[in-house]
Amino acid sequence: MGDSEQLIELRGVKKAYRTPAGDFYALRGIDLTIRPGEFVALSGRSGAGKSTLINLISGIDRATAGEIWIADQAIHRMNEEKLTRWRGRQVGVIFQSFQLMPMLTCVQNVMLPMDFANLYKSPKERVARAMHLLEQVEIAEHAHKRPSAVSGGQRQRVAIARALANDPVFLAADEPTGSLDSKTADAVFAVFEQLVAAGKTIFMATHDRELAARAQRIVHIEDGLLVEDA
Ligand SMILES: Nc1ncnc2c1ncn2[C@@H]1O[C@H](COP(=O)(O)OP(=O)(O)O)[C@@H](O)[C@H]1O
Ligand SMILES: [Mg+2]
């Protein structure tokens, strides 16, 4: 491809889940282009296919058909081992339920992806980077607490810092504000806006149309098909 105007490119992407009643197509042919620096909201009702699409773009799951190109890499052609390595290095994922390790402190949670990717070699460098990321999301004062000792909004900030650990090419967020009250959700959304202003690319699934409307661009999914791109 070699076209720097597209960071993420999906062509005819389908995803079937095996069910006792036969294959169920959660995605039925998705074409989508996301440019570097875009903040794209993926809106749609529960069951529309948002998480499935997030999981494919972030390499958590594999497409049944179609092509997924990210930063000129053919994700759909990678074997399991290559995909795992690519994901650890190139993608930052943020979930509704934060998914922090409860036995680790906040700063240790942020360092964890660095330990796997081995990009920042010395432990000193990793601590410094993790603290810097926690400062960026304004949570550094809680760095040495465990996640259970901070609020939901603060946990999501830690999860965002963790997603940034290896300086990924994009962030994928699946209902990142779904567990938060509206004021806290606003503050987390503001963190995303700051990251986009600093040049990050974000793809955020949400069933909240009001929140989606505040992103730069909305793509709407219904029954496994994109129906709108505004
Ligand atoms: N592992 C699975 N096995 C079978 N069906 C699934 C599985 N995961 C999701 N689905 C189905 O795929 C559709 C899309 O699900 P999902 O991507 O989670 O939607 P959303 O995130 O928009 O709520 C739904 O009908 C859901 O029931
Ligand atoms: Mg979902």
CATH number, domain containing residue 156: 3.40.50.300
Mutate to test the pocket of ligand 1, among 51, 57, 60 (most ligand atoms within 8 A of CB): 51
The answer to whether residues 126 and 161 touch, using CB atoms and an 8 Å cutoff, is: no
The answer to whether residues 11 and 67 touch, using CB atoms and an 8 Å cutoff, is: yes
Residue 4: the pLDDT is 60
Nearest CA to ligand 1 atom 1: 17
**Does 11 reside within a domain?**
no
50 CB within 6 A, ligand 1: yes
Q: Which atom from ligand 1 is nearest to the alpha carbon of 45? A: 22
180 phi, psi to nearest 5 deg: -110, 150
**Weakest-pLDDT range from 113-117, 157-161, 194-198:** 113-117
**Does 5 reside within a domain?**
no
- Total domain count for the chain? 1
Residue 113: the pLDDT is 95
**Does 70 reside within a domain?**
no
What integer is the mean pLDDT of 177-195? Answer: 94
Half-sphere exposure of 128 (CA within 13 A, CB side): 6
**Does 12 reside within a domain?**
no
Domain that holds residue 126: 36-62+78-229
**Does 4 reside within a domain?**
no
56 vs 196: CA distance, rounded Å: 22
For ligand 1, the distance from its centroid to the CA atom of residue 165, given in whole angstroms, is 29
42 CB within 6 A, ligand 1: no
What integer is the mean pLDDT of 170-181? Answer: 96
Residue 229: the pLDDT is 77
Residue 55: the pLDDT is 97
**Does 30 reside within a domain?**
no
For ligand 1, the distance from its centroid to the CA atom of residue 224, given in whole angstroms, is 10
**Does 7 reside within a domain?**
no
**Does 8 reside within a domain?**
no
Is the model's pLDDT at 67 over the cut of 60?
A: yes
Whether pTM exceeds 0.85 = yes
Nearest CA to ligand 1 atom 2: 17
Residue 228: the pLDDT is 78
